[in-house]
Structure 1
Amino acid sequence: MRFQKPLEVVERVFGVETDEINVSVMEGDSFTLRTNRTEIQSDDEIEWRFGSSKTRITRIAAGHVTKYDDQNFGDRLQLDRQTGDLTISNVSNEHSGVYQLSIIIRNKKSITRFSVTVYAHLPVPAIFSDPSQCPLSAERSSRIVLCSVLNVSHVTLSWYKGTSVLSSISVSDLSISLSLPLEVEYQDNNTYSCVINNPVSNQTTHLDSGLCQIRTDCDLCFDTTEAVIRLVVTALMGVAAVAAVVLLVNDIRRVGRAQTIKQ
């Protein structure tokens, strides 16, 4: 007598479709990931997962909603029972990552991945002008100004002349400080501005023409070389003064010790 091997129960899911969507959001705001379903049927199954480990965060099956404990979300997470849309509020950088939506309808499965990037609030760019670049007279035709921002990531810093981009520099993952120089003619009446931006916001600072005016009182003017010499001389004088004070204090102490010994 021949025995048949028991049949394995296999869940058959056909026609898996995969899609990916990029989402950008500002820190502190909310975002909603949509299923594009108008109504979930009782036999539909919807599941949301998050991160590289694909941690399950919520699920709808047989008409029941299950939320899984996750310290990254807490009460920030809200699931629409009718559509399965997922909303996360008051987001921070820890909510950046890949969210995976799985939908099974009549044994047909579709997967959608949402790549979410949370951007920090942008600082206002600061524009500096080196006083040593200011002209002795109208003979010096240009100056260099510097636009800077501190501790930024995923941004682009640009100089604009009117609405045209003159130069730009970008940074991706690391949180660093950026600086971008610009050479400007003194007689140039165009509008210049420094702009920092990411995909969701921007900040702008306009170049103030009063940062460096042509000087007429040449007693107050000196070039870069002279400026360096003055700084060096001042520093040496300061060192000499400190040394003189130290020597004086030591002399007073020696005299005091000598008098004490004589007594």
Structure 2
Amino acid sequence: MRLTLHFILTLSFLFFLETSIIKFEGENVTFHPNITGLQINSYYWTFMQNNQTEKIINVIIGETKKIHRTRFEGRLDTDVKNGSITIFNLTLCDGGTFQGVFFIEGGKISDHIVKLEVKDSDKYTELNILVGTNVTLSSTLQKLEEDQVVSWMFGKQCPEREIANNKKNSSHYGDPFDKVFLNLTNGDLIIPQITVRLSGRYHFLILKGGHPYISGIYDVTVYDADEYIEQNIPVGSNATLSSTMQKLEEYHVISWLFGKLFPEREIANNKKCPSKHGDFFDNVFLNLTNGDLIIPQITKSFCGKYYFKIWMSGYSYISEIYDVRVFDQVSVPNITKSTAPPTNGVCSVTCSVENGPEVNLTWFRGNISISSSSNQNVSTLTLLQHIRGEDSSTYSCRAQNPVSVQRKTLDSQRLTCHNSGTAKLWVILVIILTILVMVVVGAGLFIHRKKWKRGHVRDPQGS
């Protein structure tokens, strides 16, 4: 009797030792009490987190009673032969202290204590979805059998609520889940016209015969493509896209995504080593102080949308979207006078510039815009302007695109706008006046000479 008591006390001491286990989100874990040589009559397991303890399973002489309305409902199984429990599809909220209390015919023999830490992992499917899209989350089943149970749960970090179950009547959860429904053929979850409020983690669990055997997690981020910041950047500049964060903390996980129309690839992540993409993104890097994205000597290949994604409180969301457009500097415009002769004292001058995306030409009289032009279908953009010869205003032509401005002023002093017909008339008038003067002078000389000759004829002796 003393030997048996000593043996039981020794077992009790050994079983009371704490053990620690580290698992990743989405994995399964089994706690083994390692009781051998003894017949367990009953046992129960409790879970403690944040100084709050709840009983999660109770077994009395082979009769299993699972405690409902716990975080492990539908994910917990036990082996009554050895007292072990298994938790399927671990979540980030499952970390805590598990205690198994075991009894034999003679009374309580041990407490088995396990501290579980659940870490985030990459074992989830990450989806970046445009707001308003009809979304289907796959259960991975081809066909749902009669004895299979599919449960979909939602939470920002951990499963907080069940939103669909093929064995339960549809419930009105209220906004925003009242339109979510199951495909009863294969267990897929259908989310019509998804909204930003439906961003979060979707956990699915498939049970057969009451035992979980398939599980998965979708990390869904919903973004609004209409809410973006337009960035116009000159070719060759060093561009910085702001994360809007003052400082990155150790627990922050950030990511920059790139795509022409929607997020297609990750180009930077503060928790991953920089990787070479074999293209123009190889020189892009993160400012690890504040999460800004740095693009040295940007080229037109970098045009597209950049999405800043951050994980906070266990879930992710896209907080900033940049629509990056890259332009060449606009060239200096050229002003030329028309070779056609002026009409009614009006000259024609043309401003021209090498064309490019969103190049615009504008004529100014002083500081007032008087005409403008843009045309993407020509290689050289031109703009005609008519100016009166007596107009003493200052004229200038401005070439502009989203990243640069060039202006050229017209030298009006060198611009002669006299009418050609008027000029010819003046020449004719001058010639006529000259001829008239010559005629008058000639006539006067002729009359004077004639009078002189008459005087000499009448008085021949005095000559």
TM, length-normalised to structure 2: 0.42
* Matches for 1:46-61 after TM superposition, within 5 Å: 46-52=254-260, 54-61=264-271
Q: Is the CA contact (8 Å cut-off) linking 2:270 and 2:286 kept in structure 1?
A: no
Alignment of 1:241-252 (within 5 A): none
- Give the whole-Å Cα distance in 2 for the aligned partners of 1:70 and 1:177: 36
Pick aligned residue for 1:189 from 392, 402, 413? 392
Q: CA RMSD in A?
A: 2.8
Decide whether the 8 Å contact of 2:254 with 2:270 is kept in 1. Answer: yes
Q: Structure 2: which 5+ residue stretches go unaligned?
A: 1-207, 425-463
CA drift at 1:200: 2.1
CA displacement, residues 150-188 of structure 1 (integer Å, 9 cap, x when unaligned): 23221111001111111111245x672111000111110
Aligned residues: 211
Q: Which runs of 4+ in 1 moved over 6 A?
A: 215-218
Q: Aligned to 1:42, which of 235, 243, 250?
A: 250
Match of 2:305 among 57, 81, 98: 98
Please give the secondary structure, in 1, of the residue aligned with 2:301: helix
Change (3 A) 1:103 1:133: farther
Q: 2:358 aligns with which of 154, 157, 161?
A: 154
Say if 1:47 and 1:56, in contact at 8 Å, map to a contact too: yes
Structure 1, gaps ≥5 residues long: 222-263
Q: Deviations over 1:182-232 (max 9, x none)?
A: 0111110101100011222100011121453256999x98xxxxxxxxxxx
Change (3 A) 1:43 1:9: farther
Residues 1:7 and 1:74: Cα distance change in structure 2 (over 3 Å)? closer
Counterpart Cα distance in 1 of 2:387 and 2:378? 29
Question: More helix per residue: 1 or 2?
Answer: 1
- CA pair 22-145 structure 1, distance change in 2 beyond 3 A: same
Match of 2:373 among 139, 161, 169: 169
Rounded Cα–Cα distance in structure 2 between residues aligned with 1:42 and 1:9: 28
Identity %: 25
Q: Are the aligned partners of 2:257 and 2:266 in contact in 1 as well (CA < 8 Å)? A: yes
**In structure 2, what is the Cα distance between the partners aligned to 1:2 and 1:216?**
102
Equivalent residue, structure 1, for 2:460:
none
Structure 1 Cα separation of the partners of residues 287 and 309 of structure 2: 15
State the distance in 2 between where 1:211 and 1:217 align.
Answer: 17
| Residue 20 (structure 1) aligned to one of 228, 231, 242 | 228
Structure 2 equivalent of residue 69 of structure 1 = 277
Number of the residue aligned with 2:410: 207
Paired residues of 2:346 and 2:418 also in contact (CA < 8 A) = no
Q: For 1:216 and 1:154, how far apart are their aligned partners in 2? A: 38
**1:133/1:70 CA distance change after superposition, 3 Å:** farther
AA partner of residue 85 (structure 1): D
Rg larger in structure: 2
- The yes-or-no answer on 1:29 pairing with 2:237 is yes
Q: Secondary structure at the match of 1:83?
A: coil
1:122 is the counterpart of 2:330: yes
3-state DSSP of counterpart to 1:123: coil
The answer to whether the 8 Å contact 1:99/1:116 transfers is: yes
CA spacing shift, 1:22–1:175, aligned 2, 3 Å: farther
Contact 2:300–2:327 (8 Å) recurs in 1: yes
